Amino acid sequence: MFRHLIKLRTMASSTFRNDLEGEVIRSFLSLDSLDPNIFRASTEYLWHPYKSRFIFGGQVVGQALTAACNTVSPDHHVHSLHCYFLKGGNSNWPILYHVDRTRDGETYSSRSVKATQDGQAIFTMQCSFKTDETHVYQYQMEMPDVKGPENYLDAGEILKLRLDNDDISDKERDYINRTLAQEIPILIRPVDPETYYRRKTGPPVRLQWIKANGKIGDDNKLHQCVAAYMSDFSLLGTALQPGGPNYDIKFMTSLDHTIWFHNPFRIDEWMLYEAFSPQAGSGKALCLGRIWKQDGTLAMSVAQEGVIRNVPISKI
């Protein structure tokens, strides 16, 4: 089933035709196969978020992992990936993903992926795959104690309620309307909406329930690729919370991104994304994250460093 993701643009299966929501999600990761080791993302689905200079970094991570997954055996699943963003992606150019089959072993396999646009490298990724194995020694930290996702509003609903406030500025109203107009295949329910949207200052800690907006199917690799896409969404924003509304963003972009996959999960079911930023300074910020299943199982760990250049509002 997973290989249909590569063929989606030219040959959708009958299963996909009956799963329109799933097709919307797959469109953000679909690639054309040009060669056993070369894949292309067309400009049709490259997402350029409002107010961003570049295409969404998480989409590049998800597409690169999609390309790598299509070069390993069915019983090998990614357990870690390490990425560097070298140059901002342009939504007017297709992206080519070149996969180097570094090593194939019985338990572990390694892949290197380079993404290029107009002949220039914009992104690199090293990823490692392994087969399942059972071992008696295991442990994990405890999941944060928060209410379930049914107790919180979707991010879109929160923004719509904000439009009804009398104190909203024309600039914020325009930003909200443009944000709501974007088609994003993610549902987010922030635990603290006021801090999430920087309407108040708060510690660099963020808790939010997330899930894919649609059914994905049962292929574990596809859930991992969609989760990689989603893991970059709003993570760096955690470092903005101590400044709150007192600072204006002059420039912000990701430098690197790392994911460790611990346990199987379904990204089309609600998961808790716990993020925190231990340090910011010298124009950079480090953000760490853990993604939990509702039963308390730790599914993923995430780390990212990014450029953040803020200025106090009074100095603009």
Catalytic residues: 232, 254, 304
CA atoms within 13 A on the CB side of 160: 7
Give CA separation, 230 vs 56, 63, 215, in Å: 10, 12, 15
Measure the CA–CA gap between 193 and 190, rounded to whole angstroms: 5
β-partners of residue 292 are 272, 298
Phi, psi of 82 (to 5 degrees): -135, 120
Residues 6 or more apart in contact with residue 35 via CB below 8 angstroms: none
β-partners of residue 109 are 104, 129
Q: Are 103 and 72 in contact (CB under 8 A)?
A: no
The full length of the chain comes to: 316
